[in-house]
Amino acid sequence: MTAKVIAACRHRGIALCLIYAVLLAGCASTRGTGDLGVVIERAAGSVLIVETSAHKRLAQISGLGDLSHASVVYSRDERYAYVFGRDGGLTQVDLLRQQIVKRIVQAGNSIGGAISQDGRLVAVSNYTPGGVKVFDAHTLALVADIPALYGNSGQRSKVVGLVDAPEHRFVFALYDAGEIWVADMKDAQKPIVQKFKQVGDQPYDALITPDGRYYIAGLFGEDGLALLDLWHLDAGVKRILPGYGRGTRKMPVYKMPHLEGWAVAGDDIFIPAVGRSQVLVVDQRDWQEVGRIAVHGQPVFVMARPDGRQVWVNFAFPNNDTVQVIDVATRTIVKTITPGKTVLHMEFTPRGEQVWVSVRDADRVNVYDTNDFAMVASLPAAKPSGIFFTARAHKIGL
């Protein structure tokens, strides 16, 4: 760029020189990227770039397509956000130049994605055509295509619960096939896929524990959960929590809870009950339920503050105006907040001193101090849903 300026000044004189100089000064901000984030504005197909230090909206970026159920991962330098849309759109956003770098529509219908441990590969989880596509994180060029073929007649399954795992792996579940696949991406062009079959009926979502060891898929078609220990693939997929799910009573389930939301605090995992106004406490050492906490409604996200001392819970309709805070030490509710109509998501600042809460129907994102629960800021946002901070770039399985 400098060279260009010099050239411009030499050969074309002041006008172009000025333009370049202004461009240089104007088009990209010089700032750290560790305190940035993205808020999804679902209805508008736009995202907000936000800054958590001063609770600022930095920019609104439009033209990202259908962002229902959208999620975001970050480049390892925390400069670029990769936004996964419902319509198969994969959009790379530059948080510094505050613009879309590249946007591709790589499938007809998608549900989230992941970025590889080394940051070189971005993978997308597709419903139609069912499978996983893997792209170069810099160019968004297709690097590998993993069709979710199953059975003998060439059917393709919807893919869900795609996560990155240590040692250059992606892990995901096949909804229609009832399988979990582990893709070793050491040679990105030639993924080595290990398939675990008959893991359960209709895995609909999954999570990986923060240490990247345990992959757990929720089952829509039956009760119980499918567990894969990535340290011991030879042990295969085990079934845990046989009672977990809608149960035989089949009470109305307003929303299947997000598994991404599971909170791991010490040995305890706090998980949303399905169809019940409870949060379940499970001991990670033996995967046995060790407690139930009655809460305000059917939990959707159950998220641990980064230090694991608190667990924050939001709820499904008709209780979705409320957030409750569980104290992990006593397993009691220590605070109930009503941010407003339709609380969709929560994101903690990296060290947990504050939490951002999206309140869709209030068109606001509220920021709370997790220590005294005071609201420290509130930002306007158009029907905000997911909130994703750049610190995710440094985490496994996000």
Q: Return the residue of 102, 103, 255, 309 that touches a second copy, per CB under 8 A.
A: 309
Stretch touching a second copy by CB under 8 A, among 174-182, 272-280, 334-342, 346-354: 346-354
Query: Which CB, 188 or 396, lies closer to a second copy?
Result: 396
Residue of the chain from 44, 149, 188, 396 that contacts a second copy (CB under 8 A): 396
Question: CB under 8 A: which stretch of 32-40, 193-201, 249-257, 331-339 binds a second copy?
Answer: 32-40
Binding mask 76-115 for a second copy (x = CB under 8 A): xxxxx--------------xxx------------------
347 binds a second copy (CB under 8 A): no
Is 347 buried (19+), middle (13-18) or exposed (0-12) by CB count in 10 A? buried
86, 350, 364, 373: which one binds a second copy (CB under 8 A):
350
Please, which of residues 358-387 interact with a second copy by CB under 8 A? 371
29 makes contact with a second copy (CB under 8 A): yes
Only one of the segments 19-27, 41-49, 85-93, 331-339 lies at the binding site for a second copy (rule: CB under 8 A); that segment is: 19-27
Q: CB-based burial of residue 294 (10 Å sphere; 0-12 exposed, 13-18 middle, 19+ buried)? A: exposed
Query: Which member of 46, 71, 75, 92 binds a second copy (CB under 8 A)?
Result: 75
Q: Provide, rounded to whole angstroms, the least separation between the CB of residue 90 and a second copy.
A: 19
User: Which residue shows structure tokens 């567990």?
Assistant: 227
For residue 60, the Cα-to-chain-centroid distance in whole angstroms is: 20
Return the structure tokens found at 240.
């845990």
Is 195 a residue that touches a second copy (CB under 8 A)? no
- Tell me how far, at minimum, the Cβ of 134 lies from a second copy, in Å: 17
**d(C-alpha 89, C-alpha 356), whole Å:** 26
Binding flag, residue 187, a second copy (CB under 8 A): no
Specify the residue, 274 or 281, whose C-beta has the smaller distance to a second copy: 281
Q: How far is the CB of 42 from a second copy (least distance, A)?
A: 26
Sole window of 101-109, 128-136, 269-277, 352-360 interacting with a second copy (rule: CB under 8 A)? 352-360
| φ/ψ (deg, to 5) at 107 | -165, 175
Q: According to the binding rule CB under 8 A, does residue 326 interact with a second copy?
A: no
Q: Segment near a second copy (CB under 8 A), from 17-25, 105-113, 150-158, 271-279?
A: 17-25
C-beta closer to a second copy: residue 132 or 393: 393
Select from 105, 211, 233, 374 the one that contacts a second copy (CB under 8 A). Answer: 211
Query: Exposure string (b/e) for 318-330, b if CB count within 10 Å is 16 or more?
Result: ebbbbbbbbebee
- What is the distance between the alpha carbons of residues 260 and 198, in angstroms, rounded to a whole number? 22
Q: Which is nearer to a second copy, 265 or 362 (CB)?
A: 265
Which of 103-111, 143-151, 249-257, 306-314 is the region at the interface with a second copy (rule: CB under 8 A)?
A: 306-314
What are the backbone angles phi and psi of residue 390, rounded to the nearest 5°? -65, -20
- Does 341 interact with a second copy (rule: CB under 8 A)? no
Residues 273-292 that bind a second copy (CB under 8 A): 285
Region near a second copy per CB under 8 A, out of 151-159, 216-224, 288-296, 300-308: 300-308
Name which of 20 and 175 has its Cβ closer to a second copy.
Answer: 20
Site for a second copy in 124-163 (CB under 8 A): none
Q: Any contact of residue 6 with a second copy (CB under 8 A)?
A: yes
Site for a second copy contains 394 (CB under 8 A) = yes
